[in-house]
A and B are shown apart, each in its own frame.
Chain A
Amino acid sequence: DAGVTQSPTHLIKTRGQQVTLRCSPISGHKSVSWYQQVLGQGPQFIFQYYEKEERGRGNFPDRFSARQFPNYSSELNVNALLLGDSALYLCASSSLRTAHTGELFFGEGSRLTVL
């Protein structure tokens, strides 16, 4: 069975650019969450979507946005990139509407470097 898949795995951008990261959840999972993991830190919650609706948002600026498609895949967009946006971006899927009350299945992540 395919797990959570994310693309691209690595990318390099320059300050001010925009980036789009993609995630496909486990088949049958309707919830997708996005996390930012800075080197040496724990994952930090950005967004959660369930059935194409935003169910939760962490403490991130409006430069960060996301959406979920009818097939439950998701995109995370970051505009006007800053050096501090350099991190591993993790996508996690769940079968639960309230995703934070059960196991999250993480993808391998997209490592973003902003120069």
Chain B
Amino acid sequence: GENVEQHPSTLSVQEGDSAVIKCTYSDSASNYFPWYKQELGKRPQLIIDIRSNVGEKKDQRIAVTLNKTAKHFSLHITETQPEDSAVYFCAAADNNDMRFGAGTRLTVKP
């Protein structure tokens, strides 16, 4: 199986600043890379995803980049807002399995 490493484990930024969360994976068969946001006491919800045939994807203030050669992918949040505060999980998946990182607790200070 594969492991997904996620960094940093905690991240604190000032409102309006950017936040970057990085993940690495080990299984070259991975072809789908989603990011989930989990607010305190709530269910994880998909915020953005990227497939292995794409290098970058953007949705308003959120973007994800993928480097398949290096087995790295990253989440970028620009112009952060207090409501972005949550735990963010990256994941790497193939047809059989989805493995999540340990999560990054993002705090956006007003």
Interface assignment of A65: CB less than 8 Å from any CB of chain B: no
Q: How distant is the Cα of A104 from the Cα of B89 in the complex, in angstroms?
A: 13
Residues of the B chain whose Cβ atoms lie less than 8 Å from the Cβ of A108: 42-43
Q: Is B100 within 8 A of A44, CB to CB? A: yes
Verify A102–B32 contact, CB threshold 8 A.
Answer: yes
Q: Is the CB of A100 within 8 A of B101?
A: no
Judge whether B93 and A106 touch: CB under 8 Å. Answer: no
Q: Majority SS of interface residues in chain A?
A: loop
Q: How far is the CB of A27 from chain B (nearest CB, A)?
A: 17
Interface centre among A42, A58, A98 (most CB of B within 10 A): A42
B43 touches A100 (CB 8 A): no
A-B contact count (CB 8 A): 54
B interface, size bucket? 20 to 34
Per-position contact with B for A76-97: 1 when CB-CB < 8 Å, else 0? Answer: 0000000000000010000000
Residue of A nearest to B42 (CB): A108
Flag if A100 contacts B32 (CB, 8 Å): yes
Q: Given the interface contacts A45-B98, A101-B31, does A90 sit within 8 Å of B44 by beta carbon? A: yes
A25 lies within 8 A of chain B by Cβ: no
User: 30 interchain pairs (CB within 8 A)?
Assistant: A4-B43, A33-B98, A40-B103, A41-B102, A42-B4, A42-B91, A42-B102, A43-B100, A44-B100, A45-B97, A45-B99, A56-B96, A56-B97, A59-B1, A90-B44, A100-B32, A100-B93, A100-B94, A100-B95, A100-B96, A100-B97, A100-B98, A101-B31, A102-B32, A103-B34, A103-B46, A104-B34, A106-B43, A107-B43, A108-B42
Chain A contacts to B: CB under 8 angstroms: 4, 33, 40-45, 56, 58-59, 90, 98, 100-104, 106-109
